[in-house]
Amino acid sequence: MTDRTAELEPPAIPAQPKPPGPLKEFWNSFKENRGAVIGLCIFAAFLFIAIFAPWIAPYDASEQFRDALLQPPAWQEGGSWQFPLGTDPLGRDMLSRLLHGARFSFFIGIIVVSLSLVTGVVIGVIAGFSPKWADTLIMRVMDIILSFPSLLLALVLVAILGPSLINAMIAIAVVLQPHFVRLTRAAVMSERARDYVTAAKVAGAGRFRIMFLTVLPNCLAPIIVQAALSFSTAVLDAAALGFLGMGAQPPTPEWGTMLAEAREFLLRAWWVVTLPGVCILVTVLAINLMGDGLRDALDPKLKRS
Amino acid sequence: MLQFLFKRLLTFVPTFIGVTIISFAFIRLLPGDPILLLAGERGVAPERYAELAAQFGFDQPIWRQYLDYLGGIFQGDLGISFTTKRPVLDEFFTLFPATLELSLCAITLAVIIGIPAGVIAAVNRGKFFDQALMTTALTGYSMPIFWWALLLIIVFSSGLGWTPVSGRMSLMYFFDTPTGFMLIDSLLSGQEGAFRSAVAHLILPTVVLATIPLAVIARQTRSAMLEVLGEDYVRTARAKGLSPLRVNGLHALRNAMIPVVTVIGLSVGTLLAGAILTETIFSWPGIGKWMVDSIFRRDYQVVQGGLLLIATIVMAVNLLVDVLYGMINPKIRK
């Protein structure tokens, strides 16, 4: 019977842990993916290098040392610690050039993703809210852009605009932007009929407010994932354009351009060919690892792979 | 089904027209006067200029020019290459078999390795093998293929001397090429060693071109398999006592194939984009290298025609994939 009195007492509520905030929740599921965390660390390192390249790099990216042409890396015979990763055919320090190259790659990634994301999302939201004819028109235009192989279209655009890094970035942004449009439109369409949108309408929210402040924030998850993947595509495509001579022009220490310059020394000096490629691969891989993690953490509906 | 087919064909038409507008606009958007560009540094006399402008139709109003261009397309007239003076369409069909051969080999390699790799990874989910395979796949997916090609050349061509560095066939052999496919033509020629030479020239470009589709197919197969492996009928099949090979290979894989087939179909664009880099590096005489060379030579009639033809191929294949997909999977035929 003592139990009964005990029951009457207010039960001791165990201290409920506060529900994790959205950021915390995201981080908890992101950190479960080991690959994604590794990707994030590498990305952070590259970000650091990209920002501080001029202070970390031992030399200027275009400084030439005429008495040390094609010097091998320090650990090889003939190398010295003066140039830890060797020098290129013009006697420039490889390490310094690679460090500065990180700058360009990130610059490219940021600009291209911002350009294609902003235009793509705006067009996508508009398409999602437009009458059927306008929506069809917009989507047909996107279909047209998508029916050209991306690199080919970028090459042709650069041929029109003239070969330079800026034009290469514009071209890549144009090629990547339809993906954002499609994704945003699809997300907007599925959100548009929800009750909270109707509620906002009833409350008298304007069209613009509903489009960009009510609906768009709820469509962000797939867009963020796409942004990460586009970043890696941008870095790869810019390097490919640089390699074909249609991107950054020498002596810019852009990794793809460096590879193109080094091609004729393919057989004589492995380091001038191998190292820029390793940098591209590691960066792109890190971003893709992160993108996979982001996808799993933000959008459980999407397939885990 | 017919209705679905018709509807899908109907979306093809505006897209195709859009593509013709873009390729038409291309020459007009180029900075500078196309005729002055064509004339080069020597310049051109005013009478000759007028003559050339009339010949290319530049003196007509723009809509008239476009209609003429469209009319030309339907008669198979895509202009004439400035450099070779041959019709663009003829050049395209001379070079296309080389790209087709390379692409078919690449996609075959990607499928043969990618699908089993994806299945094995899915069946061993979370184990070491799965992680190793998927890390490799993601690395392949992130690969700058132009660099990958250079590495393979360093190791296999110059280091080990196993494969030639460029081209499609050793200069030692000379024979007719009725089909345009080196593998077939070299066999038909009956010359000893010719076939082996064709294969040796194909290996590295195939591996390079297959890298990204291979990674995509392996990843897609794995995720499709994972989805299917959780289904009831797979459990039933297992409960019936069927061997794992039968369950995974026959029951599960067959249903997992639908998204994978779509991915394979849609990788045509990827292949053609990859062919631009691969063909340039290996001096493979296909349409990818042709396009890049033409851009550098400012042979804009070729670029214009090539752009249209390549986009049309991509669109046609996508249409085919869509229709096939609709046939396999009635659900999307709404």
pLDDT tens for B126-150 read: 888 888 998 899 999 999 999 999 8
| Residues B135 and B67 grouped into a single domain | no
* Within-domain flag for B82: no
Which residue range forms the structural domain that includes residue B101? 94-333
Most confident of the ranges A54-68, A223-237, B155-169, B318-332: A223-237
Share of chain A above pLDDT 90, in %: 20
Res. B246 pLDDT band, cuts 50 70 90: confident
Q: Looking at the 3D structure of chain B, how many domains does it have? A: 2
Which range has the worst mean pLDDT, A87-91, B100-104, B307-311? Answer: A87-91
The minimum CA-CA distance between A2 and chain B, rounded to whole Å, is 51
The two tokens of residue A184 are 């945003």
If you average pLDDT over residues A144-158, what whole number do you get? 87
- Asked if the C-beta of A267 comes within 8 angstroms of chain B's C-beta atoms, the answer is yes
One domain for residues B150 and B205: yes
> Can you read off the two tokens belonging to residue A203?
């409350």
Judgement on whether residues B57 and B111 belong to the same structural domain of the protein: no
Contacts of B295 in chain A (CB under 8 A): 155-156, 159, 246
**Cβ neighbours of B27 in A, within 8 Å:** none
Domain assignment present for B156: yes
The tokens for B59 are 């003196």
Strands (DSSP E) along chain B, which ranges? none
Instruction: Report the DSSP beta bridge partners of residue A210.
Output: none
Which helix (H) or strand (E) element contains residue B325?
Answer: helix B300-328
Question: Residues B245, B168: one domain?
Answer: yes
Decide if pLDDT at A305 tops 60: no
Using the Cβ of B277 and the Cβ atoms of chain A, whether some distance falls under 8 Å is answered with: yes
Residue B218 lies in a domain: yes
Pairs of CB atoms within 8 A across A/B:
136
Q: What is the pLDDT of residue A280?
A: 92
Measured between alpha carbons, how far is B332 from B334 in angstroms, rounded to an integer?
5
Give the closest-approach CA distance of A159 to chain B in angstroms. 7
Q: What is the pLDDT of residues B70-123, one digit of tens each?
A: 888 888 888 888 778 888 898 898 889 889 989 999 999 999 999 999 988 988
State whether B142 and B266 are in the same domain.
yes
> Closest approach of chain A CAs to the CA of B77, in angstroms?
21
Put simply, the chain A residues between 226 and 255 with a CB less than 8 A from any chain B CB are 232, 236, 239-240, 243-246
Residues B154, B287 within the same domain = yes
Please tell me the distance from the alpha carbon of residue A73 to that of residue A8, in angstroms, as a whole number. Answer: 79
Closest to A250 measured CA to CA, from A29, A108, A101, A112: A101
What is the C-alpha separation between A218 and B224, in angstroms, rounded?
27
Assess whether B311 and B270 both reside in one domain.
Answer: yes
Which pLDDT score is estimated for A9? 60
Residue B59 lies in a domain: yes
In this predicted model, what pLDDT tens digit does every residue of A223-238 receive, in sequence order?
A: 888 898 899 999 999 9
Residues 6+ apart with CB under 8 A from A44: none
Identify the domain boundary among B30, B46, B74.
Answer: B74
Residue B54 lies in a domain: yes
Cα–Cα dist A288/A40, whole Å:
10
Answer yes or no: do B62 and B192 share one domain.
no
B327 and B224 within one domain? yes
Based on the fold, state whether residues B132 and B267 are members of the same structural domain. Answer: yes
* Residues A244, B292: C-beta atoms closer than 8 Å: yes
Whether residues B67 and B143 fall in one domain = no
Spell out the domains of chain A, with CATH numbers in brackets: 33-58+92-302 (1.10.3720.10)
Between the two ends of chain B, the Cα-to-Cα distance in Å is 9
**Position B86 in a domain:** no
pLDDT band, very low/low/confident/very high, at A304 (cuts 50, 70, 90): very low
Query: pLDDT per residue over A27-52, tens digit each?
Result: 887 888 888 889 999 999 989 998 88
pLDDT at B12: 84
Q: Do A149 and B26 touch (CB under 8 A)?
A: no
Q: How far does the CA of residue B90 sit from the closest CA of chain A (Å)?
A: 21
Average of pLDDT values for A199-218?
86
ipTM for the complex shown: 0.84
pLDDT at B4: 79
What is the rounded distance in angstroms from the CA atom of residue A288 to the CA atom of residue A230? 9
Q: Residue A286: pLDDT band by 50, 70, 90 thresholds? A: very high
Reduced 3-state DSSP string for A144-200: HHHCCCHHHHHHHHHHHHCCCHHHHHHHHHHHHHHHHHHHHHHHHHHHHCCHHHHHH
Same domain, B215 and B317: yes
The verdict on residue B264 lying in a domain is yes
Q: Report the pLDDT value the prediction gives residue B6, as an integer from 0 to 100.
A: 84
What is the distance between the alpha carbons of residues B268 and A149, in angstroms, rounded to a whole number?
A: 9
Find, among A172, A175, A150, A163, the residue nearest to A257 by Cα: A163
Q: Is residue B84 part of a domain?
A: no
What CATH number should be reported for the domain holding residue B263? Answer: 1.10.3720.10
Which chain B residues have a beta carbon less than 8 Å from that of A269? none
Q: Does B103 touch chain A (CB under 8 A)?
A: no
Work out the pLDDT band at A2, boundaries 50, 70, 90.
Answer: very low
With beta carbons less than 8 A apart as the criterion, state whether A163 and A198 touch: no
Mean of pLDDT values over B155-180: 78
